[in-house]
Amino acid sequence: MLLKKICSARAVSKKGLVIYMTILIEKEIDDNVGFDYNEILESVVLKSIELENCPYECEVNITFTDDSGICKLNKDFRGIDAPTDVLSFPMADYSPPANFSILENDEVISQYFNPESGELLLGDIVISVERAKKQAAEYGHSIKREICFLTAHSMLHLMGYDHMTEKDRKLMENKQDKILNALGIIRD
């Protein structure tokens, strides 16, 4: 089953900027996540963009799949023949993370911006609902909190953050917590 939903989101950033964006949500599985994910994922995506001071209207694709689907992607793109909870496919390489100034030249506009909408193409997020359910049970919180956490985590990857070093891991964890806490999404 492939279900596509397109959400147009609008929020006002802490700097008073109005943020518009498109979130394309696809479900490759016939698995009920147990909550209405459209609105909450919109909030997580918008809060991530707001807290990183992204000056552009953006587009993000989120796909829900199962362990089998994410295992195939993990093998194809990372050479790891095992399922994982979430994969992130950023469109641009930001150095340092969230340095959106790299997008301020005419050469990159055709690469990183949707020609029809003018939105910055942040990238794709793929979440294994099957894995997220297992992790939610393991960590003792709801599937809603787990999927929101994975989305926040992945949004940071789309903006150039990583957790390859201890320093980077701590920075990313702090940012994830800040996003989720700002939305009242806590471990329950």
Confidence of residue 2 (pLDDT cuts 50, 70, 90): very low
User: By residue range, what is the domain housing residue 92?
Assistant: 3-182
Q: Is residue 134 part of a domain?
A: yes
Digit-coded pLDDT (tens) for 87-100: 999 999 998 999 99
Q: Is residue 18 part of a domain?
A: yes
Q: Is residue 82 part of a domain?
A: yes
> What are the DSSP E strand ranges found in the chain?
3-12, 18-27, 58-65, 86-90, 120-128
Q: Is residue 99 part of a domain?
A: yes
Digit-coded pLDDT (tens) for 42-70: 899 999 999 999 989 999 999 999 999 99
Q: Is residue 56 part of a domain?
A: yes
Q: Is residue 117 part of a domain?
A: yes
Q: Is residue 187 part of a domain?
A: no
Does residue 11 sit in helix, strand or coil? strand
Q: Which pLDDT score is estimated for 34?
A: 80
Are residues 57 and 120 in contact, defined by beta-carbon separation less than 8 angstroms?
yes
Digit-coded pLDDT (tens) for 13-38: 556 666 678 888 888 888 777 888 88
- Calculate the average pLDDT of the chain: 89
Q: Is residue 188 part of a domain?
A: no
Q: Judging by DSSP bridges, how do beta strands 3-12 and 120-128 pair with one another?
A: unpaired
State the amino acid at position 170 in one-letter form.
Answer: K
Write the CATH number for 166. Answer: 3.40.390.30
Digit-coded pLDDT (tens) for 99-154: 999 898 888 888 999 999 899 999 999 999 999 999 999 999 999 999 999 999 99
Number of domains in the chain: 1
